[in-house]
Structure 1
Amino acid sequence: MKRLGILSVFLLLLWSCGTPKIAKVERQWYKGNLHTHSYWSDGDEFPEMIMGWYKDHGYDFIGLSDHNTLAAGEKWKLVPKGGVYKDAFYTYLKKYGEDWVEYKEDTGRVSVKLKTFQEYVPLFAEKDKFLIIQSEEITNSFEGKPLHLNVTNVKKLIGEQEGSSVSDVLQKSIDAVTAQRRATGQPMIIHINHPNFYFAITVDDMISLNGERFFEVFNGHPMVNNYGDSTHIGMEEMWDRINIAYLAAGKPLMYGVATDDSHNYHMFGDAYSNSGRGWVMVQADSLRPASLIEAMEAGDFYGSTGVTLSRISREGNKLRVEVAAEEGVAYTIQFIGVKKGEEMSSVLMEKKGIADEFALTEDIVFVRAKVVSDKYKENPFKEGDFEAAWTQPMVYQ
């Protein structure tokens, strides 16, 4: 018995010393744009040139989301008239060469065979460095109203949906993505694009939806009316009204994304839809679609037009924000939320500086942070815009 006891102790020590410790995965911030267009639909550039721009400008992931297409099969693009487009074609040809670019000329016009998603991805994808996610802008309409939604990490084409109302069309798009996700087991998310594009989607349309967790609080296209007008509310007020209604109905919070919705790559200014205006920063454990989507569904991301946050902490009932400050730039941190019994959001606390926190109490429905700098945005959505960032809302626990 004594010998058995000594052996047992020895084996226990051996097991405890030999068991590898599971290292905690350090989550990182990844920068990405989820809304981008190319010659596969109504953008004015080749996919390779667009992917190269985002990779060269420090993005970690990109979703090329052309209208009702997945960049598959054979498509020839007639290069548009105008010297800028012809020059852009020769730039493309020089960069990638005759062996890569398949084209033909006829009566002075050039047609180019577009590269598919499967063809161009290997040129740019690098494990843990740069990821291209297959995406689609589901492009619908109802009574002339444009109803667009982006699906990220889609596996099969969704395509246009039809319905009996604005909300019915949107819901059918959401349901189609949900069904594909369940059938394939592939994680994917859907977000509503630019509700104020032709003022097509109202707060009431959004409130009635089920299964929608994301929408564009900022979109870089010049025609989307991010800030509303004299008779329509802007995206931030819409966001807060949706969440007031969602929480009252027992639905999960709606999260806000910032995107480029880029179409124009040769002409620049606030009359054009250019790259680099809005993006998301996602805090995930790896640069994989599943990891990024899991983090976004948990609210572990923020939207930005230029402000970088070094830390967002949601511990207990405290929301803390810390800014990765640029030298010579001043910041204002606003905590925006809704108190119980009120129908509108307001700035609950505001402070100039690079770090602050807000403690939720039972009388607050939800709170989110917005950080605004005094640095003017380069090539802004609207002249005079300052760089900003938006965290996701949180509720009292």
Structure 2
Amino acid sequence: MGSKQLPVPSGFFGRLFAGWRLGKRGWAGLRAFNATPKSHRRIVFYAETEADWAFLGPVCRALETSGERVLKITSDAADGVLDQPDSFFVGFGSARTALFKSIDTEAFVMTLSDLQTFHLKRSVHPVHYFYIFHSIASTHRVYREHAFDAYDTILCVGPHHQEEIRKTEEAYGLKAKRLVPHGYGRLDTLIDDISAQAESADGGSEELNVLVAPSWGECSIVMHCLDRVIRSLLNGPFTVTIRLHPMTRRQDPGLPDRLLAEYGPTARFQFDPHINTTESLLAADIMISEWSGAPLEYAFARLRPVIFIDTPPKIHNPAWEQVDCPLLEVDIREEIGQVVSLDAIETLPTVVSDLIGEVDDWANRIRRVREETVYNLGCSGEVGAGIILETLDLESRS
């Protein structure tokens, strides 16, 4: 079931054929998964895209290290996990829908929200569903209204997730889920990468590197002020790197080339196409974003401040005020950085220089906020594996 880079189809019929071929491959993957003895598929992880393994991977690896056999299913045809044993491709079509409805396993682990809301339903078999977060942000505004209702156990990043989900259950009269302190595997990985980088550091460049990492959709810098941000920064003594959200690239595939054509000749502008890697995060002296989850990861990993452009907020749940809880991604902004209004974009070079000049003071402040916000720093993978195994053990004895 190894991964293959499929040729990009051209024209309508080419795309139609490529879709048929992926659908056929997805059904073959489902048949192969179902042919695996049930005793071998006690624990199953599912990823929509390869990027999901940044959040699922630490728990998955900890389970495998403990001797557990873990089956991995992906909808991403180019997912590198397909080169590993016990991995299966199901695609995004009817094979995936059938998998979700019929899967027979003890533990189904994913970072896919909105289970049971649309076409992906809980199985007809008794399966325990575990949710692992792919963002540190609060649960009740950037996710849809019923994003987490169908899960049995939710592995929470920090105390804010536990409070928000309990308040959501109260507001909607829902059955209480099992909420357990977990942490955030993506952050643990970033911190490990920073330590490894520090050990092999060669001094680096003296030029300050600003990473612009927008979210996607109506809240994004891309929609409001991207060119103004880039031009303002290039007027200062900085190298500018931009890392676009995958959804932005999907909706506007020509944007990277346009940006490179416009700003590449300055020799101080670069585009990072590798959203799944950490190099640009580790190389950046400061990050600029808005409502993305990336700035929280950057600040907590690098202990450096973030600049938040004050675009309209990301709202996927118009009924978010029914949950009587503060919003982490709002309240934390001035604790880990500075907010810049859309009218003040031209001040960015000064703001960047001032914040970098105070980086040691910011590090102490951000470290304190991180300790209050994220559980089990540095060991969330092992903790998550323990949660899954303990849950299965309790269910086997009940």
Q: TM-score, normalised by structure 2?
A: 0.23
**Greater percentage in strand:** 1
**Greater percentage in helix:** 2
Q: TM-score, normalised by structure 1?
A: 0.23
If you compute each CA radius of gyration, which structure gives the higher value, 1 or 2?
Answer: 1
